[in-house]
Amino acid sequence: DCDDPLVSALSQASFSSSSELSSSHGPGFARLNRRDGAGGWSPLVSNKYQWLQIDLGERMEITAVATQGGYGSSNWVTSYLLMFSDSGRNWKQYRQEDSIWGFSGNANADSVVYYRLQPSIKARFLRFIPLEWNPKGRIGMRIEVFGCAYKWNPKGRIGMRIEVFGCAYRSEVVDLDGKSCLLYRFDQKSLSPIKDIISLKFKTMQSDGILLHREGQNGDHITLELRRGKLFLVINSGEAKLPSAHVPISLTLGSLLDDQHWHSVLIQRLGKQVNFTVDEHRRRFHAQGEFSYLHLDYEISFGGIPAPGKSVSFPHKHFHGCLENLYYNGVDVIDLAKQQNPQIIIMGNVLFSCSEPQSVPVTFLSPRSYLALPDSSGEDEVSATFQFRTWNKEGLLLFSELQLLSGGLLLFLNDGKLKLNLYHPGKLPSDITAGNKCIPAGKVYAFERFHYLSVPSP
C-alpha cells in the first residue's frame, strides 16, 4: 500500500508560503488535525495569488491529499489547485484528461476532505493554490499528503516490462487566427427551443475573444466570451421578467485561461435551468419568468460573430487559438467543417490542426529570480520584445550593461508605470515614462492581463 502520511513528521522548515497573516499563522502550522499556533496557515491577504508549499525532502509517489480549515475559525478554502515540482522552480498543474483539475475544498473549519489522486503524482514539492474561500472569513488551510517513497531497487539497475492499454482518442481540432470563424446552420426541426447542450475544449494565449454566439429576435442571444482570461456566459431574453427589463444573465468562471493549456467547457440549458462548467468548476442558474423560451435563429457561430448589422453590437475580438471536440447538441461541428458539409460556412482561414506558438512563458517566483542571457554583439545596442503580467507595482523588467560606454539601461515598473532609464556615470540619468499605469490602484485583475512591450534598437 502507498498511503502513508507524508507531512505530519516534517519539520517547520519544510513548509513555505506566499505570505502569512502573523507568525502564529505561518505555513509550519498547516498540519492536519493540529492546533499549534493559530491552528493553521492563513496568508496576509486572501486572494487567488496565495500558495502553501510543502517540501517532502525527496521525490515521493503521492496518492492522496486531505485538507481542513483553520482550527476553530471561519477560515477555510472551498476550492483549490494542486501543483507539483521536482525542483521547486518549474511547476506543473495536476490534471485529468489534459484539463486542469480543481479540487473542492472544505465547508467548515474542522471536517477533513480527502481526495485520492488518479493518476498519482511523482514529485518532491507540492503547492496548494486557493481559488475560493469562505466569504465571511479568510483563506485557512491544514493539509496532509499521503503516499510512499518513490525508489527503484538500489542493488540493481532500473528494469521494466510494460504494456499500455487504451483505445484511440478521437480528436477533431480547428485553429482560428483571430479573424476567422465557423457558422453552423441547422434544421429547425432537429432542435428543441428550450434545450441546448454545448461542449468544447479550447487553448489560447490571447486574453479576449468570442468562443460562440447565437442570436435571434428581440435581442435574445447566448454568447460565450473570453475576457481578460476569464470565461463569461451571457444569456439575454428580451421577454425575461427580471428585476430590470432586458438585463442579461452573466455567469463567470475561470481565471488565467489564456495559458496555452487545454480547458474544457460544458453548457447545458434546459428550460429555466442553466449549468455552466469550466474545468470541473460549475455554476448553476435558475431563471424566472419567460426565460425558458429564447427566440433564437437557427444558426450559431464559433470563434466570432460573422454577420454585421445584427441587433446586438459586440465590439469584442474574434477568438485566436484552437478548439477541440466541438459538439452542439450531439453534432460534431469540426468534423462537419472538415467534410465541407453545406451546413457549415467557413469564414476566413482555418486549419484543422493546432499550431503551437513560438513564444515560451517564464515565471519568476520571487523578487530574486532572474533570467540572464549572453550578449555576443559587442555593441551598445539593445533590442527586446516581450509581454508581461504581474500584480506588483514595483519591479525590474530588463537591465543591460553598455559594452563600449560605461553605464546601462534599465526598464522597470514604478508605482505601476513603465519607466525606461538610460544612465552614464557623471551624467544625469534620462527617464522616459510610458503611458498610463499598467497596475491601477486596487485592481487585482491586472495580473490577468498581458501588457505588450517593445524596446527596439536605435
Q: pLDDT tens digits, residue range 95-137?
A: 766 555 678 999 999 999 999 998 899 999 999 999 999 999 9
Going by CATH, does the domain composed of 173-351 fall within 2.60.120.200? yes
Overall pTM > 0.85: no
d(CA 205, CA 94): 20
Residue with the bigger pLDDT between 193 and 297: it is 297
Q: Which of helix, strand or coil describes residue 20?
A: coil
pLDDT for 244 equals 41
Grid cell, residue 233, equals 456566459
* pLDDT reported for residue 241: 42
218-243: average pLDDT: 75
Weakest-pLDDT range from 233-242, 309-318, 441-450: 441-450
Given pLDDT bands bounded at 50, 70 and 90, which one contains residue 449? low
The closest alpha carbon to 129, from 99, 100, 157, belongs to 100
pLDDT value of position 25 = 95
- Say what the pLDDT of residue 378 is: 54
Task: Give every CB contact of residue 427 below 8 A, 6+ residues apart in sequence.
Answer: none
Distance CA 203, CA 400 (A): 34
Whether pLDDT at 263 is above 80: yes
pLDDT at 366: 73
Task: Kindly state the cell numbers that stand for 404.
Answer: 563600449
Q: How far apart are CA 416 and CA 51, in angstroms?
A: 23
Position 454 confidence tier, pLDDT thresholds 50, 70, 90:
confident
> Which residues of 11-97 form beta strands (DSSP E)?
15-17, 52-68, 77-85, 92-93, 95-96
Which tops the pLDDT comparison, 261 or 434?
261
The least confident of 185-199, 204-218, 227-241, 365-379 is 365-379
User: Which range (247-261, 374-388, 410-424) has the least confidence?
Assistant: 374-388
pLDDT band at 438 (very low <50, low <70, confident <90, very high): low
Asked whether this chain's domains 4-149 and 384-455 adopt the same fold, the reply is: yes
pLDDT band, residue 69 (cuts 50/70/90): very high
pLDDT digits (tens, 9 = 90+) for 147-198: 998 765 555 566 777 888 877 777 899 999 999 999 998 876 655 566 789 9
pLDDT score at 96: 67
Of 63-72, 82-91, 428-437, the one with minimum mean pLDDT is: 428-437
Q: Please, what sign has the CA dihedral across residues 257, 278, 122, 71?
A: positive
- What is the identity of the amino acid at 44? L
Contact 303, 344 (CB under 8 A): no
Please list, residue by residue across 418-433, b when 16 or more beta carbons sit within 10 angstroms of its beta carbon and e when fewer do. bebeebeeeeeeeeee
Residue 287, pLDDT score: 63
The percent of residues above 90 in pLDDT, for the chain, comes to 44
CATH class for the domain made up of 384-455: mainly beta
Report how far residue 292's alpha carbon sits from residue 45's, in angstroms, rounded to the nearest whole number.
41
Q: How many CA atoms lie within 13 A of 82 on its CB side?
A: 27
Rounded mean pLDDT, 254-283: 88
3-state secondary structure of 275: strand
Find the mean pLDDT for residues 50-55.
95
Q: Residue 306: its pLDDT value, please?
A: 78
- Cis status of the peptide bond prior to 135, with omega within 30 of 0: no
When the pLDDT of each residue in the chain is averaged and rounded to a whole number, the result is 82
| Choice between 429 and 183, residue whose per-residue pLDDT is larger | 183
**Residue 312, pLDDT above cutoff 50:** no
237's grid cell: 431574453
Candidates 30, 133, 93, 18; CA nearest to 367 is 18
pLDDT of residue 158: 65
Structurally, what CATH architecture does the domain formed by 4-149 represent?
A: Sandwich (2.60)
**Domain segments of the chain: what residues?**
4-149, 173-351, 384-455
| pLDDT interval class at 352 (50, 70, 90) | very high
Report which DSSP code applies to 141. Answer: B
